[in-house]
């Protein structure tokens, strides 16, 4: 999962796909990808090896 942040108001939204509009200020085209969320709780690649 990725975290998307609005360039206008700073609101964040987690999801797989980039939102078309900001959930807070409803501006379109302002959501930018910030970081990838790790799926493993420990942060290592052990779950990917299974």
The answer to whether 47 and 33 have CB atoms below 8 angstroms apart is no
**Which H or E run includes 13?**
strand 12-15
> If residue 24 lies in a helix (H) or strand (E), which one and from where to where?
none
Q: Quote the tokens at residue 12.
A: 């964040």
Cα distances from 27 to residues 3, 35, 47, in angstroms, run 17, 21, 37
List the chain domain ranges: 2-38
Instruction: Using CB atoms within 10 Å of the CB of residue 4, give its burial: 0 to 12 exposed, 13 to 18 middle, 19+ buried.
Output: buried
- Is CATH 2.20.28 the right assignment for the domain spanning 2-38? yes
Claim: this prediction has a pTM higher than 0.95: no
Write out the chain's pLDDT in tens, 50 residues: 899 999 999 999 999 999 999 999 999 999 999 966 565 556 665 655 54
């Amino acid at each position: 999962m990725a975290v998307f942040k609005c360039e206008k108001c700073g609101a964040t939204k987690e999801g797989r796909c980039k939102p078309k509009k900001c959930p807070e200020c409803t501006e379109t085209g302002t959501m930018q990808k910030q970081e990838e969320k790790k799926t493993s709780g420990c942060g290592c690649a052990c779950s990917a090896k299974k």
